[in-house]
Amino acid sequence: MKRNRKSKILSTIGPATSNKKSIKNLFISGADIFRLNFSHGTVEDHRKNYEYIREVEKELKRPICIIADLQGPKLRISTFKSKNLKLENGNTFILDLKNELGSEKRVYFPHSEVYESLTPNSHILINDGKIKLQVTKQNKNSIETEVINGGIISDNKGVNIPDIELPLSSITTKDKMDLQKALDMGVDWIALSFVQTKDDILELRKIVNKKAMIMAKIEKPTALKNLESILKVSDGVMIARGDLGVELSPEKIPSIQKNIIRKAREAGKPVVVATQMLESMINNQTPTRAESSDVATAIYDGADTVMLSAETAIGKYPIESVSIMDRIIESVENDDPNYLDEIQMQNRHDKSSTDAIIAAADTISRNSQAVVIVTFSVSGGTTLRMARERCPVKVVAISPSIHTARKLCIVWGIHSCVGDDAQNTREMVDNACKIVKDEELGNIGDSIVITAGVPFGNAGTTNLLRIAKII
């Protein structure tokens, strides 16, 4: 099954789509990757959905990528004596370690490690930023604040503290348990929430141990400060605009999004734009014009993947959400003659033979009217570098490893396939031509560009470039 676009769609599985039929329809409608959100549902729920996805993969004979998204250290207040208490502007409100029901004066905040990290004038945001508090004084047992923006407060609301780097590991005890289950299932990517520094990623990598790719979710101001170092140790990044939009002013998000995409592309790492992309479709059959433009903007910026969250997890119109996102992307990529010019960038090549081969393949494909570029890749490294070029033709990634083929599904312009590794040049050409024809990406007489490594079957040895004609 081929797509008439190069950018990818990530769909979150939830109660609305937690069955094989829905998952199959989501894939047919345009979903390339599926997200298991470990912030919700049980491990058994996720295991069943994983199995459904793999069944669909087998039936449709196309690799499908699965991401396990860990919850991370989400801060929350505890519960209150009464419902819907109101905090008034200018009043004092205390967060403390007393495990008692809260009031309009105080609430239990069971995160002792945070207390001494705060300083006077630090800001605390509650319920997605609807309530804003400013710290006046604190100690190891309590945080006294002034209510800056008041409102209704209720049980178990989330807390954001944007001003400081918190002394919290991004991997909680729950995450470690969920992570092991996800790795046992065989997921392709692990998304780590609330990353602050590269150390969070390095900690996770020790546990994952090459069993999956690692995606850093950028949703805290501290992650922005450390973006380049985080990119170096991650396999990809997700712009999680929900929490990021809480902790930063809304007007800053568009430029931040563009900058993260630019940096990720320079690093040759796939980047996902997530959260509230078609949010109105949770309850409506069509998106707003602003939402359509938001999706289009991410595509023009050069994002590898755009994500649907609640739209497909709990929404009334999950299939329609994927379909309209598919059509928006197709319209941008195929109807706008300036699209490819918009996403071209001054590529920064490493000084290696592989990058020389990739640059040459890109140039030749443009000048020879090749229909596709074929990469033979064991690890996927060459294919990732090729994607950085944003070639005008689709890249067919052939790997002997289903795991590599799945991981590459998230990458811009990549049509991944499982195929036998070639033993010689003749076999390489024959295999490439056959797969391109079988996948309906080229016809007899079409030219293709092929990259591979000699000796065949060794990772990291791309050193061969060939132009071939399908016969």
Region of poorest pLDDT, from 25-39, 339-353, 368-382: 339-353
Contact 378, 459 (CB under 8 A): yes
Task: Write out pLDDT tens, residues 199-228.
Answer: 999 999 999 999 999 999 999 999 999 999
Contact 230, 195 (CB under 8 A): yes
Amino acid at 296: A
Q: Tell whether pTM > 0.85.
A: yes
**Separation between Cα atoms, residue 81 and residue 103, nearest integer Å:** 6
pLDDT of residue 201: 97
pLDDT above 70 (res 154):
yes
pLDDT above 70 (res 346):
no
**Separation between Cα atoms, residue 320 and residue 322, nearest integer Å:** 5
Contact 93, 106 (CB under 8 A): yes
pLDDT of residue 250: 87
Average pLDDT over residues 74-78: 93
pLDDT of residue 96: 97
pLDDT of residue 222: 92
Other CB atoms within a 10 A radius of the CB of residue 237 amount to 27
Region of poorest pLDDT, from 54-63, 182-191, 369-378: 369-378
SS (H, E, C) the chain: CCCCCCCEEEEEECCCCCCHHHHHHHHHHCCCEEEEECCCCCHHHHHHHHHHHHHHHHHHCCCCEEEEECCCCCEECCCECCCCEEECCCCEEEEECCCCCECCCEEECCCHHHHCCCCCCCEEEECCCCEEEEEEEECCCEEEEEEEECEEECCCCEEECCCCCCCCCCCCHHHHHHHHHHHHHCCCEEEECCCCCHHHHHHHHHHHCCCCEEEEEECCHHHHHCHHHHHHHCCEEEEEHHHHHHHCCHHHHHHHHHHHHHHHHHHCCCEEEECCCCHHHHCCCCCCHHHHHHHHHHHHHCCCEEEECHHHHCCCCHHHHHHHHHHHHHHHHHHCCCHHHHHCCCCCCCCCHHHHHHHHHHHHHHHCCCCEEEEECCCCHHHHHHHHCCCCCEEEEEECCHHHHHHHHHCCCEEEEECCCCCCHHHHHHHHHHHHHHCCCCCCCCEEEEEEECCCCCCCCEEEEEEEECC
pLDDT: which is higher, 149 or 462 = 149
pLDDT of residue 291: 97
Q: Which residue carries 């923006």 as its tokens? A: 149
Of 175, 173, 237, 230, give the one whose Cα is nearest residue 202. Answer: 230
Q: What is the mean pLDDT of the chain?
A: 93
To the nearest 10 degrees (0 to 180), the angle between helices 289-301 and 318-330 is 50
Task: Write out pLDDT tens, residues 392-439.
Answer: 899 999 999 999 999 999 999 999 999 987 788 899 999 999 999 999
Contact 247, 162 (CB under 8 A): yes
pLDDT of residue 167: 86
**Separation between Cα atoms, residue 65 and residue 43, nearest integer Å:** 18
Rounded to the nearest angstrom, the gap between the alpha carbon of residue 53 and the centroid of all alpha carbons in its chain is 18
Other CB atoms within a 10 A radius of the CB of residue 456 amount to 17
Task: Write out pLDDT tens, residues 95-150.
Answer: 999 999 999 999 999 999 899 889 999 999 999 889 999 999 999 999 999 999 99
pLDDT above 90 (res 179):
yes
HSE on the CB side for 35, CA within 13 Å?
Answer: 28
pLDDT: which is higher, 352 or 315 = 315
**Separation between Cα atoms, residue 446 and residue 429, nearest integer Å:** 13
Q: Give the chain's domains with CATH numbers.
A: 8-72+169-334 (3.20.20.60), 75-160 (2.40.33.10), 353-469 (3.40.1380.20)
106 beta partners: 94
Q: Which residue carries 């609301």 as its tokens? A: 157
pLDDT of residue 374: 95
pLDDT of residue 373: 95
pLDDT of residue 460: 62
pLDDT of residue 459: 66
The CA-based diameter of the chain, rounded to the nearest angstrom, is 79
Peptide bond before residue 455 is cis, with ω within 30 degrees of 0: yes
pLDDT of residue 457: 66
Q: Which two tokens stand for residue 457?
A: 């079957």
pLDDT of residue 123: 94
pLDDT above 70 (res 347):
no
Contacts of 171 (CB under 8 A, 6+ apart): 70, 72, 179, 192, 200, 203, 204, 207
pLDDT above 90 (res 385):
no
Phi, psi of 414 (to 5 degrees): -100, 125
pLDDT of residue 67: 98
pLDDT of residue 159: 93
Amino acid at 215: M
To the nearest 10 degrees (0 to 180), the angle between helices 253-267 and 289-301 is 30
**Separation between Cα atoms, residue 427 and residue 372, nearest integer Å:** 18
**pLDDT bucket at 382, cuts 50 / 70 / 90:** confident
**Separation between Cα atoms, residue 411 and residue 413, nearest integer Å:** 6
pLDDT above 80 (res 294):
yes
